[in-house]
Chain A
Amino acid sequence: MILALALAVSQPAATQPVTVHDAFGRTVTLAAPPQRIVPIFASNTEIVASLGLADRIVGIEAYTRYPRDVLDRPLVGGRLGFSVDSIVALQPDLVVVTPSRQAANQLIDPMERIGVPILVLLQRSVPEILANIRLIGRVAGVAEQGEQVAARFEGRLAAVKRKVEGRRPPSAVMITGRLGTGLMLVAREGTYTGDAMVLAGARFALPGTQTIAQVSPEAILNADPDVLLWAGSARDLEELVARPGWSEMRAVKSGRAHAVNRVELLIPGPRTIDGIEHLAAIFHPDAMRP
């Protein structure tokens, strides 16, 4: 009796069937809370896991590395695409997907045809990440948990905002990758990585890189930002800033060239909030000191 009561409290009266609209404007209806979820991509897996639903995850894709306790699940896809066969073999009752690589193209149509609910999420900004945490919470029948988790993240973001507000935002460039041609990929406005930089209290040293993310190293040298960020290992950063020209940059000479954690800033999941706190500590070390 007490157990039943406890269960009833922890799992509030199921409001299923639930009907939601996903990022493609599709209507997705679930008759009952899903128990066998296949989230495609690390970001969606992390969102599902952040709601305490890791044990409902029955399959992942090959580049999911977190959380550790789901890494033993069968793989349903990877660099070369996603397998409808492998997903169906897991008997899922929900597939969560982001239109990246070929996932949406390869999976929406077959799943719709055989009647497996498939939810498309876009995580292009930090508000979208939070909205998706709430959405998955509702879809999975744990709406309250979704609300709590998202509110907790919002609280942490508000705390960062309070600390960095009113301070001069340093100009910053975050390099997220290098191409064979010597061009560099940088975090842009209007992406979640760019969002994270702004929320952490920086401004873009290279504004207006809206359409193409590749810039020449010269553009970065010319911009001469207050802070230079390298999304990768400290060793690669050292190698980069040792080059002629780079070693003369203000950020390098003043010790404000930092390597930052790729998974926190390049996977649009709950860990982005950690990434924003870490960025804020780089941009505004005095404000963020406890």
Chain B
Amino acid sequence: MSTTATRYPEAAIEADKEVPIIRITRDFRATPAQLMKAHTDPELFVRWNGPETVSSRIVEWDVRDGGSWRYISTHEGQDHEFRGCFHTVGEDKIVQTFTWMGMPDQVSLETMWFEDLGDGTTRLHAQSLCDSFADRDAWLSSGMEVGVNEGYKALDRLLEAGEL
């Protein structure tokens, strides 16, 4: 695959204008198999999924086509439950549904694909298809509430400097 020189050492995000999709692209110094493992091994997954202020416990984690997953994250004494279904678990691709049980009727379809860049790095392509623009935008705006206090000032400086 002719991947050009563009690198994503930091997450790049795109909110599609035509369909309610959020796309994230990020490069990792790892193999696709390692990324796959970090996403599917429940013990590894909880170690990186949430910030340190959030502890998560896996309730259900059946990694196979059609298997279910469910975990509860505790943040400042409040439990948040997330659940979904592993629709497809391939060698370098995961397709799954995702629901925050605070809005149990809203289901997003997540596709994660790990692209081997051939030099010891792997590109993660993560796409979330929400069921409406309102749902997608609720997700985007939820970025306000969790774990974003640090870095706000730096971010504002970047925005002011027009670097974003």
A binds B: no
Question: Residues on A close to B: CB < 8 A?
Answer: none
Question: Residues on B close to A: CB < 8 A?
Answer: none
